[in-house]
Chains A and B, each alone.
Chain A
Amino acid sequence: MRTHHATLLLGALAAIVWCTTGTSAHHAFAAEFDSTKPIKLRGTVVKMEWINPHTWLHLDVKRPDGKTERWMIEGGPPNALYRRGFSQKSLPVGAELVVEGFRAKDGSLKGNGRELTFADGRRLFVGSSGTGAPRDGKD
């Protein structure tokens, strides 16, 4: 049994090494966002900015006191999201959704998107940002 576990572990390690393609990347998560400040926002889509190297989703979030905050959520690069099936219709203006991610280090109303959930329960992966994003099982 121990051998079996060891084999599994070695296999997993080999898979990790195998898939570690040296590559450059982009704006690193840890530089902009705080992995100790996870956010979960319920709001409505205001607009989606399809800009490089990251998309930005703007959404209005109603606070408990009734006031509305406008948040900006960073997503993956538009070309990669588009090639994976994300389109202009994926996030229509006014759509209600829940965004999970991590807040900007400077405390502004910005965050790094991890996953979106629509009102009907459909989930959409938005790609989050670069190096240092915490391992939270949603990757």
Chain B
Amino acid sequence: MTNWRFVGGLLVAAAIGTLVAAQQPATGGWAPPKTPWGDPDLQGVWRYEASVPLERPAQFAGRASLTDEEVARNQKLEDEQAAQRLAGAEGAAVGRRSVGESPIRGNEYNSFWQDHGRPRQVYKQTSLVVDPADGRIPYTPDAKKADARASARYGAGPYESFLDPDTGERCLTDGVTALMWQGPNGGHNRIVQSQGYVTILHEEYLDRRIIPVDGRQASGIRQWFGNAVARWEGSTLVVETANFVDRTNYEWATIFMRPSETLRLVERFTRTGATTMDYRITVEDPATFARAWTAQIPITRLPDETLIYEYACHEGNYAMPNLLAGGRIDAAKRQR
């Protein structure tokens, strides 16, 4: 009887092992370099360089992947854009894009936010969200309303006070959740390791996370970025973050970024090649989501010479007075 229990235990362990293995990114046998103290070396400037939508568009409902023909079409589009960039006579003129290529909410102007002169990568994924299977963020009904409200007021206000612009417009932060793949300047992130720590410097707002990897427990002090602790699982860095402050009462450009006291993030960083990383984030927060969701994001290591630039967002920033001045004009028009 004891033997059967043992065999049963082995089978369960094997099944769990298979499940875990199925969730591991394929590295094709490639082993990452090691730091002098023996940890996998994730250092460098990393950036999300594709244009896969976060949530699956309706036209791809039921499909997790594009067909080969669709991939080829997108590759052709990217190649044409790259050629246009190369054909530009003056640096900043390079990379102007078509209306159809507009990356943001039907707003064609914003393409440069996503562009720093490098070609974008084409992937088969139809959405970054891979769980739930429909590729959509599982908002609670209340959060869905809050998200619709945030979308409606984005760029439209009302702007009655400095509290009305969203956290990004206020130069505060766009939150931890999207830090590794978003950012108007292309989401540049420099990862630096020292013994017992991994530090991630996000260019926009110079958001930074100093994450202990030394076995300690997370601190109980609540912060905007929560308390993160990390561990290695093979070559994967697993970062768990909790103890966020509640900032659900702030205006956020997109609701999925907002922290609450019940937000919990689990991130998995796995290098899959010299310039590729499989980054996955599982987001759990009953204050906003009906269930946990996971996004799988391919990110790219940029050339060694890539720099993270200064990003003081407040000094000399004319945007806030301009926003409020525009708000007064809009309010006067409404009164008339």
Could you list which residues of chain A lie within 8 angstroms of chain B, going by C-beta atoms? 11-33, 49, 51-54, 56, 72, 74, 76-87, 90, 104-106, 108, 110, 114, 122-133, 135, 137, 139
CB-nearest residue of chain B relative to A30? B155
7 additional A-B pairs beyond A18-B51, A20-B105, A85-B90, beta carbons within 8 Å, are A27-B169, A80-B113, A106-B326, A108-B325, A124-B90, A130-B155, A139-B98
- Is B291 close to A, CB under 8 A? no
Q: Is the CB of A139 within 8 A of B102?
A: yes
Q: Is the CB of A80 within 8 A of B115?
A: yes
CB distance from B88 to the nearest CB of A (A): 8
Contacting A at CB under 8 A, from B225-282, are 253-254, 257
CB distance from B293 to the nearest CB of A (A): 13
Q: Is the CB of B108 within 8 A of A20?
A: no
In angstroms, Cα B96 to Cα A124, docked, is 10
Binds A, one of B9-17, B192-200, B215-223, B309-317: B309-317
User: Within the complex, which residue of B59, B156, B257 is in contact with A17, where a contact is CB–CB below 8 Å?
Assistant: B59
- Is B112 close to A, CB under 8 A? yes
Which range contains the number of B residues in contact with the other chain?
A: 35 or more
CB distance from A85 to the nearest CB of B (A): 2
Q: Is the CB of B155 within 8 A of A132?
A: yes
CB-nearest residue of chain A relative to B96? A125
Contact A139-B109, Cβ < 8 Å, known A18-B74, A78-B309, A105-B326: yes
A-B contact pairs, 28 of them (CB 8 A): A14-B59, A16-B102, A18-B57, A20-B102, A21-B103, A23-B184, A24-B168, A24-B182, A24-B183, A31-B165, A31-B323, A53-B171, A56-B318, A77-B184, A81-B92, A84-B91, A84-B95, A85-B92, A105-B325, A106-B322, A110-B322, A122-B89, A125-B112, A130-B107, A130-B155, A132-B107, A132-B155, A133-B109
Q: Is the CB of A25 within 8 A of B92?
A: no
Residue among A77, A78, A84, A108 with most chain B CB within 10 A: A84
- Is B224 close to A, CB under 8 A? no
Chain B residues near A24 (CB-CB < 8 A): 166, 168, 174, 178, 182-184, 253-254, 257
Interface of A is mostly: loop
User: Within the complex, which residue of B57, B100, B104, B159 is in contact with A25, where a contact is CB–CB below 8 Å?
Assistant: B104
Chain B residues near A49 (CB-CB < 8 A): 316
In angstroms, Cα B95 to Cα A19, docked, is 15
Interface of B is mostly: loop
Chain B residues near A78 (CB-CB < 8 A): 309
Contact A125-B155, Cβ < 8 Å, known A49-B316, A105-B326: no
- Is B42 close to A, CB under 8 A? no
Residue among A31, A56, A72 with most chain B CB within 10 A: A31
In angstroms, Cα B108 to Cα A139, docked, is 6
CB distance from B225 to the nearest CB of A (A): 16
Q: Is the CB of A12 within 8 A of B318?
A: no
5 residue pairs, one from A and one from B, having the closest CB atoms: A85-B91, A28-B155, A139-B108, A83-B116, A133-B109
In angstroms, Cα B55 to Cα A41, docked, is 42
In angstroms, Cα B92 to Cα A123, docked, is 9
Chain B residues near A28 (CB-CB < 8 A): 154-156, 169
In angstroms, Cα B156 to Cα A78, docked, is 25
CB-nearest residue of chain A relative to B97? A139
Q: Is the CB of B154 within 8 A of A129?
A: no
User: Within the complex, which residue of B92, B254, B311 is in contact with A79, where a contact is CB–CB below 8 Å?
Assistant: B311
In angstroms, Cα B106 to Cα A131, docked, is 8
Chain B residues near A51 (CB-CB < 8 A): 312, 315-317
- Is B287 close to A, CB under 8 A? no
In angstroms, Cα B313 to Cα A26, docked, is 11
Please encode chain B, from 97 to 131, with 1 for each CB lying within 8 Å of some chain A CB and 0 for all others: 11111111101111111111100000000000000
Q: Is the CB of B323 within 8 A of A127?
A: no
